[in-house]
Amino acid sequence: MIVQVLLPLILAFIMFSLGLGLRKQDFSRVLKYPKAFATGITNQLILLPLIAFALIKVFGFTSDIAVGIMILSFCPGGVTSNVLTRIGRGNTPLSISLTAFVSLASVITVPILVAVSVSHFMGVSAAEVNITQLGITMFLITAVPVLLGMLLTAIKPALVERISKGISRAANVLFVIIILAALAKNWDVFYANLPTLGPALVLLNIVMLALGLSFSRLVKLDSKDATTISIESGVQNGTLGIAVGAFIALNATELLPPTTLPSVVYSIVMYVVTVPFVLWRQRIAK
């Protein structure tokens, strides 16, 4: 039930909450920030998977964990990156636009890249990843809820204004439930891998935040845009990572499989690095 029903429903609800915060101008707004947008997209879609791959090689993870880390690196920032950008006094509209584009693009990019990763790390023992089925599943549990949220916002803005905070809180609670369920079902695997997986994911977070800031300065973005690009580069959608990790484990029924663990652990340790970073950016923005 966790993998087949509960997890997709929770992810869909979280994506619906993201859609409530989007407007159609969030997609056209990127024309106002072409350099910042190009930097953010490059970091998320190209640089992040390359760094994740390098860390896998350095730490020597098992195939399941390696695939889970790669899945995490393919996921967009989600609602969390938008909230952290606002707290850090970054360019929130740019953050929302990046999240919107990468979230919709992930319907195409994630299934293809996941199939490549499974084949590379698991080899002949890998179960075949049905790219079409995964793409359709992602479309139904990510793109459709986002579009429904946007549609409701466009039709009933006053209603959305009243309910959006409550829905956002509910989405956060459901996210915590998924994290706790994954830990409970995989405690032995989690405990065995934490000494290496935790530091590797903390390092991934640190490297991407730093590279986001460095590349932003390299292309001469202002401080607000640099904060945004750093957060968008370093913060991933752990819930989507868990959902995709569960999907490719075709033998999983009730248990959340080991391929979900990197996203679970990341969803916890990410705050150890990102919160101090956000508070630092908030302080220097004053």
157-185 vs 187-218: helix crossing angle, rounded to 10: 130
pLDDT at 26: 65
- Domain assignment present for 202: yes
pLDDT digits (tens, 9 = 90+) for 37-84: 899 999 999 999 999 999 999 998 888 899 999 999 998 777 778 888
Structural domain containing residue 97: 2-279
pLDDT digits (tens, 9 = 90+) for 213-266: 999 999 999 999 999 999 999 888 887 888 888 777 654 444 567 788 898 888
pLDDT-based confidence at residue 186 (cuts at 50, 70, 90): low
Lowest mean pLDDT among 30-39, 134-143, 177-186, 222-231: 177-186
CATH number at residue 208: 1.20.1530.20
Helical spans, DSSP H, in 139-221: 144-155, 157-185, 187-218
- Domain assignment present for 286: no
pLDDT-based confidence at residue 203 (cuts at 50, 70, 90): very high
pLDDT-based confidence at residue 204 (cuts at 50, 70, 90): very high
pLDDT at 254: 46
Cα–Cα distance, 277 to 185 (Å, whole number) = 32
- Domain assignment present for 285: no
- Domain assignment present for 8: yes
At position 36, the amino acid (one-letter code) is: A
Round the average pLDDT of the chain to a whole number and report it.
Answer: 82
CA distances to 14, 95, 110, 167 from 146, in Å? 9, 16, 17, 13
Q: Which helix (H) or strand (E) holds 117?
A: helix 92-122
pLDDT at 1: 53
* Residue corresponding to tokens 């590279």: 211
239's CB contacts (< 8 A; 6+ apart) are 10, 11, 14, 78, 175, 178, 263, 267
Sign of CA dihedral 85, 86, 91, 92: positive
pLDDT-based confidence at residue 174 (cuts at 50, 70, 90): confident
pLDDT at 153: 86
Query: Structural domain tally of the chain?
Result: 1
- Domain assignment present for 63: yes
- Domain assignment present for 250: yes
Lowest mean pLDDT among 82-86, 170-174, 205-209: 170-174
Sign of CA dihedral 46, 247, 206, 283: positive
pLDDT at 169: 80
103's CB contacts (< 8 A; 6+ apart) are 15, 18, 76, 78, 142, 143, 146, 237
CA distances to 21, 58, 140, 163 from 144, in Å? 15, 38, 5, 19
pLDDT at 258: 79
More confident residue, 182 or 166: 166
- Domain assignment present for 163: yes
